[in-house]
Structure 1
Amino acid sequence: MISKDIALGFFFLFQTVLGALGNSFLLGLYTITYFVGPRLRPIGLILTHLAFVNDLVLLSKGIPQTITILGLTNFLDDVGCKLVFYFHKVSRDLSLCTTCLLSSFQAITLSPRNSWWAKFKAGAPKCIVPLFLSCWAFYLLTNCMILLYMKAPIGNKNITEGQHYIYCSAAFPISLNIATYIFTFSLPNFLCIGIMVGTSGYMVFFLYKHRQRVQYIHGNNLTPSGCPETRATQAILMLVILFVSFYSLNSILMLCIHLGKSFWLVHTSTFLAACFPAVSSFVLIVSDSHVYKYFSALWEKMMIQFS
């Protein structure tokens, strides 16, 4: 084993552990707050689900990738490869769907009473759980192809037919048009990306107009970015920008991987796929003042109980 493999392995391990800790903190915070803390905002349910699926993304890809790079090869059989890749793809698609729902919900929340979005305000919180269930059912079904064609390595090397992904391989039948399959089942993801870009543009426009109105009324001394709702919106916009950027770069690399096999392209693609799940929780922790509010309320309640 050469030193660059050790460094790369610990790099992926650091990314996985750090991201899992951040998402687990948010997941635990929102879950405890829901049961014993102050009243949780409806959007808190979306953030809880986002933290959960991001944890799945990191653990289902980061751990096997790290183990392989550090020298333990062929540790997964056919069933293990199928499940690891299946749950990684499902959780990654759910992360996209949840981020899209987060952006849409915040756009509806911000909309004024006389806007077209206003008619969805009352019913939007009631649609969150049904939308989650629909997303889970859809992506569990559409990714079943992975369960058919993912294979474990044979002997000391991966099978040569299809594509290899460091510790597993995909053996697609000749009759299957991979490009057509990828394009067809990527259409819902492209739709989610389009919705995120549209709702983000709407929120940017709303914040710009709001800032102009506030400065006109109160002068230039007021800082509208200090408003909790504005800071929450800015955090969500940052999440959308990060997701679209990393998702687009990773999609380009995945296309390159299908055109030509390169382990370094696979490593880079894995790193980019894990970037958003790893950093999203820290963006919320730093930018969203509601996270600090929930944590402070729970901490005070704990101090009262133990005092």
Structure 2
Amino acid sequence: MILSVVFFSQTGIGVLGNSFLINIFIFLFISGHRLRPIDPIFTQLALGNCVALLSKGVPQTMVALGIKNFLDITGCKITLYLHRVARGLSLTLTCLLSGFQAIIISPNNSSSADFKVRASKYIIPSSLLCWPFHVFLNIFIPIGMVDPKHSRNVTKIQHYGYCSHVVPSGFWASFYTFILSFPDAVCVGLMLLANGYMVFLLYRHHKRVEQIHTSCVSVRGSPETKATHTILLLVSTFVSSYFINCLLTAYMAWMESPAWLVHTSAFLSSFFPAISPYVLVSSDSHIPKYCYALCGRKPQPHLDRNSK
């Protein structure tokens, strides 16, 4: 009962927060308000988070209540496929966010100015291409699904409680691992590089401000710096939960796993989708401005100062 409450609360709170962000950005777009280039990516990330939470949290809540193997083979294939696509979207879109923000805050010169303009134009088409990419990348995921009610005679089976998946061996194990891991490894590597570069730029800017001793210049004053802090916090949350979950998933693929480990892995896989909207709301000063714009009210003075 405690586990079911935990998974249900995680799913409900996460879907509520992501739906709030989706509605804000959609209403602002329809009403003609000017959005930042990263706001459409936040919208797509929130949509992917909702799919990830529903495809993982709802079945896991049923399993925690003791209702196992309640899905047929078709339901298992659709559920696991949607979760894999949504998980890949969260990874790729978060990578795009960190890379785009690293370009935006890079030092201004004659060559980088044109590159920044082109990056702003291509960021939305690039994010839209992530959807068909992951849809086709994970197309073979349902192939390995087996009916959980008729999987007793198969030895290498990974059980999720509501679904079962054949663990490949030999050449196919290496092939599937490479196909699924290579894009993830590239995205995580790019995120770490972009984060390191942004931290370096912020540190150098902080040192310059200290050297000139100018009280009117603030390290946190510019909108670009505030957006950078938001994305750094978002990416750090994603990478930490992603690495821990990958270690648990790799262990469960090769070793007999206790029930608590399976539940822990499921909780971690939904941790970032559930918490990311609240990270954005609490750290992005533009979100309160958007809320006031929807209500037809002017921002409070302290909110307006923080967003400038």
Asked if 1:244 corresponds to 2:251, the answer is: no
Deviation of residue 151 (structure 1)? 2.3
Asked if 1:29 corresponds to 2:34, the answer is: no
1:305 corresponds in structure 2 to none
Runs of 5+ unmatched residues, structure 2: 299-308
Larger deviation: 207-216 or 46-55? 207-216
Deviation of residue 240 (structure 1)? 0.8
Task: Provide the secondary structure at the position in 2 that maps to 1:239.
Answer: helix
Q: Percent identity?
A: 47
1:273-299, CA deviations, whole angstroms, 9 ceiling, x for partnerless residues?
111111111111000001111111111
Larger deviation: 32-41 or 221-230? 221-230
Asked if 1:74 corresponds to 2:94, the answer is: no
Asked if 1:298 corresponds to 2:287, the answer is: no
Asked if 1:90 corresponds to 2:85, the answer is: yes
Deviation of residue 223 (structure 1)? 4.1
1:7 corresponds in structure 2 to 2
For the 8 Å contact 1:54–1:277, the answer to whether it is kept is yes
Q: Are residues 12 and 265 of structure 1, via their aligned partners in 2, closer, same or farther at CA, if it must alter by over 3 Å?
A: same
Q: Are residues 290 and 13 of structure 1, via their aligned partners in 2, closer, same or farther at CA, if it must alter by over 3 Å?
A: same
State the TM-score, normalized to the length of structure 1. 0.89
Distance 1:48 1:102 in 2: 12
Distance 1:175 1:216 in 2: 60
Distance 1:173 1:198 in 2: 33
Distance 1:158 1:77 in 2: 18
1:183-224, CA deviations, whole angstroms, 9 ceiling, x for partnerless residues?
332111100011111111111111112222233344367542
Equivalent of 2:125, from 102, 127, 130?
A: 130
Runs of 5+ unmatched residues, structure 1: 1-5, 303-307
1:30-57, CA deviations, whole angstroms, 9 ceiling, x for partnerless residues?
1111111520111111111111111111
Q: Are residues 115 and 96 of structure 1, via their aligned partners in 2, closer, same or farther at CA, if it must alter by over 3 Å?
A: farther
1:101 corresponds in structure 2 to 96
Task: Provide the secondary structure at the position in 2 that maps to 1:163.
Answer: strand
Distance 2:129 2:278 in 1: 28
Equivalent of 2:14, from 7, 19, 23?
A: 19
Distance 1:189 1:267 in 2: 23
RMSD over aligned CA atoms reads 2.2
User: Given residue 291 of structure 2, which amino acid in structure 1 is its aligned partner?
Assistant: F
Task: Provide the secondary structure at the position in 2 that maps to 1:166.
Answer: coil
Deviation of residue 62 (structure 1)? 0.4
Q: How does 1:282-297 map to 2 (within 5 A)?
A: 282-297=278-293
1:151 corresponds in structure 2 to 146
Larger deviation: 124-133 or 152-161? 152-161
User: Given residue 194 of structure 1, which amino acid in structure 2 is its aligned partner?
Assistant: G
User: Given residue 14 of structure 1, which amino acid in structure 2 is its aligned partner?
Assistant: S
- In the alignment of these two chains, the number of paired residues is 297
Larger deviation: 112-121 or 234-243? 112-121
Deviation of residue 104 (structure 1)? 0.9
